[in-house]
């Protein structure tokens, strides 16, 4: 009530001005949203289900024999390009492993690639690993082929933090114990320092079979020697000759140039969160280049698109005593 706040003449004047400014009250308006989108119709932006190809372009192989080796492991809809034949292939059947040859002509031929004999399903149980006198560090690859976001399907294993969890979970599944860490660089972390200083020299890096791969951590990091034994995944597969993932994710070491963060963030797939083909990350080539003195030597490293599949290494950062 304006009469309580202002004298009667002034309050009456204010009411008159308000009425003139407001004008007559109209009819209630109608909602323009005739078909509002319900929450049930909104589809969240989930990642593809396990087995779907999420990325850009086709898988690339040098020869048809390389494609044939892994053709039965990829889902229907996978497209592959074979450099030697300059030809695209499209998988159309899982049961018969049928791939259609994509041609520029009006018609295209279909071929059936051979399916290897099925292997018995592996059951991962804790195992007794070979006993080696003295200290050792296990160097093991993750089982999955990974794009630049390091994510395995819909699981929470992406980027650097998720990869720490994935490495430790895989190690626990086969009874290797604790303290496994991904061997990659991030925007703020240099993989040269993943192993504590007291274990960088004189502690051999071994595979699941107890075979010495490198004499110590620094010989690996400095690119001084080639692997002396096979690098195995947690399920025991040799990753050194996998045409579907012919590389190891590394990431360029972070270097801050005059406080320039962008320089430090180069060549790591946006800190391991991107699968875009226009972005890149530093990798090590598998198998090694013939002229490369070591796995991580300059001659054996190159940039690849974040949409490509590579492997990732996990290293034990606290040695096992036997």
Torsion of CA 76, 285, 81, 70, to 10 degrees: -40
Answer yes or no: is pLDDT of 163 > 70: yes
At 47 the pLDDT is 38
Compute the mean pLDDT over every residue in the chain, rounded to the nearest whole number.
78
Question: What residues contact 48, with CB distance under 8 A and at least 6 apart?
Answer: 54, 153
Q: What digits encode the pLDDT tens for the residues 47-72?
A: 333 333 444 567 888 888 888 888 88
> Mean per-residue pLDDT for 13-26?
60
pLDDT band at 15 (very low <50, low <70, confident <90, very high): low
How many other CB atoms are there within 10 angstroms of residue 219's CB atom? Answer: 20
Look-up of token digits 């995944």? 233
β-sheet with 59-61: strand ranges across: 59-61, 79-82, 87-93, 98-102, 110-112
pLDDT of residue 71: 86
Kindly tell me if the per-residue pLDDT of 88 is higher than 90.
no
């Amino acid at each position: 009530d304006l009469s309580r706040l202002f004298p009667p003449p002034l309050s009456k004047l204010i009411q008159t001005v308000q009425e003139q400014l407001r004008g007559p009250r109209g009819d209630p308006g109608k909602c323009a949203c005739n078909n509002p989108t319900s929450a049930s119709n909104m589809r969240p932006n989930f990642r593809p289900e396990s087995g779907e190809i999420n990325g850009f372009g086709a898988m690339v192989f040098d020869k048809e024999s390389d494609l044939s080796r892994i053709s039965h492991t990829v889902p229907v809809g996978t497209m592959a390009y074979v450099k030697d034949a300059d030809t695209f292939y499209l998988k159309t059947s899982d049961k018969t492993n049928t791939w259609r040859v994509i041609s520029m002509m009006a018609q295209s031929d279909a071929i059936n690639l051979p399916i290897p004999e099925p292997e018995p399903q592996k059951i991962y149980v804790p195992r007794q690993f070979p006993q080696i006198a003295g200290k050792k560090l296990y160097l093991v690859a993750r089982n999955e082929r990974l794009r630049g976001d390091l994510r395995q399907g819909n699981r929470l294993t992406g980027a650097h933090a998720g990869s720490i969890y994935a490495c430790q979970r895989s190690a626990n599944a086969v009874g290797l114990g604790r303290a496994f860490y991904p061997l990659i660089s991030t925007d703020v972390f240099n993989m040269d320092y993943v192993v504590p200083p007291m274990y960088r020299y004189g502690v051999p890096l071994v595979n699941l079979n107890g075979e010495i791969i490198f004499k110590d951590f620094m010989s690996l990091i400095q690119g001084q020697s080639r692997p002396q034994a096979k690098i195995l995944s947690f399920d025991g597969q040799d990753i050194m000759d996998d045409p579907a993932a012919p590389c190891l994710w590394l990431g360029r070491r972070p270097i801050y140039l005059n406080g320039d963060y962008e320089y430090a963030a180069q060549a790591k797939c946006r800190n391991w969160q991107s699968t875009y083909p226009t972005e890149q990350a530093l990798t090590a080539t598998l198998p090694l280049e013939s002229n490369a003195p070591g796995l991580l030597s300059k001659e054996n490293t190159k940039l690849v698109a974040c949409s490509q599949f590579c492997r990732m290494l996990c290293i034990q950062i606290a040695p096992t005593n036997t």
